């Protein structure tokens, strides 16, 4: 098992992409500390809380090789009625918390012989979408943060890469797709593979980035969208 002997921390791990990543890392032999604001993980924590990052780092017990700060939210609000509250909440969970968790985990990652930071951006890390101003801004920020961290921590042997998922069918997105079949059909047909993605599609890429196979990759953005953004 290619991750045997390594320790990982995955946030937002109670469901969806986070749960799939945690399961895949475990299957590859890693010891995984899971966290979510929903009970059921090793640690119940709201990443937007000021002391959450320190709680997460402490829960690793002094050792960490793989960090996946996956927890996130999204909301649809047209810009002319976009509330300050939704903007602040989205940026705080999707970007500020990712920064704080990386910052708190860096001392542990520097001690690792194979430190890995794997952030979860979005295809909206590189383009925008109507009604998604806060989410797009946050995910653009995640990509920029990842690349800056990759440059800074490279001399310490720590890599940092960003996965950019497209339309992924999860417990959170399923109600939206079911409520709006045209929206689901749009993304399914836009995909070159003519299907929506699954959490496992993303988890497999995360497992690759966590492994020695990706040892010379850092500062990269890996789009996992079935080819949806390969054409207009």
What residues act catalytically? Answer: 135
Give residue for tokens 């960003």.
162
Cα–Cα distance for residue pair 18/26, rounded to 1 Å = 12
44 Cβ neighbours under 8 A, 6+ residues apart: 35, 36, 37, 38
Of all helices (H) and strands (E), which one includes residue 137?
helix 133-153
Residue 202 in contact with residue 172, Cβ under 8 Å?
Answer: no
Structure tokens, 143: 């990509």
Residue 10 in contact with residue 32, Cβ under 8 Å?
Answer: yes
Torsion region of 12: left, alpha or beta (phi above 0 gives left; psi -120 to 50 gives alpha): left
SS (H, E, C) 83-112: CHHHHHHHHHHHHHHHHHHHHHHHHHHHHC
Residue 227 in contact with residue 193, Cβ under 8 Å?
Answer: yes
Structure tokens, 163: 């996965």
């Amino acid at each position: 098992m290619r991750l045997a002997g390594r320790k990982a921390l995955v946030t937002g791990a109670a469901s969806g992409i986070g749960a799939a990543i945690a399961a895949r890392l475990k299957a590859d032999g890693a010891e995984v500390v899971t966290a979510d604001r929903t009970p059921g993980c090793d640690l119940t924590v709201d990443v937007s809380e000021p002391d959450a990052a320190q709680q997460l780092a402490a829960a690793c017990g002094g050792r960490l090789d793989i960090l996946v700060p996956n927890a996130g939210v999204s909301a649809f609000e047209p810009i002319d009625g976009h509330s300050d509250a939704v903007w602040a909440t989205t940026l705080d969970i999707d970007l500020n918390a990712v920064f704080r968790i990386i910052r708190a985990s860096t001392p542990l990652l520097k001690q690792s012989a194979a430190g890995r930071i794997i952030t979860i951006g979005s295809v909206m890390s590189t383009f925008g979408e109507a009604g998604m101003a806060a989410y797009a801004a946050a995910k653009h920020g995640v990509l920029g943060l990842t690349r800056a961290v990759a440059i800074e921590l490279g001399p310490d042997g720590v890599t940092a890469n960003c996965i950019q998922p497209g339309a992924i069918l999860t417990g959170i997105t399923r109600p939206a797709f079911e409520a709006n079949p045209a929206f689901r059909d749009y993304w399914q047909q836009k995909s070159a593979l003519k299907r929506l993605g699954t959490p496992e599609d993303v988890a497999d890429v995360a497992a690759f980035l966590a492994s020695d196979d990706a040892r010379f990759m850092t500062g990269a953005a890996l789009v996992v969208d079935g080819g949806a953004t390969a054409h207009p």
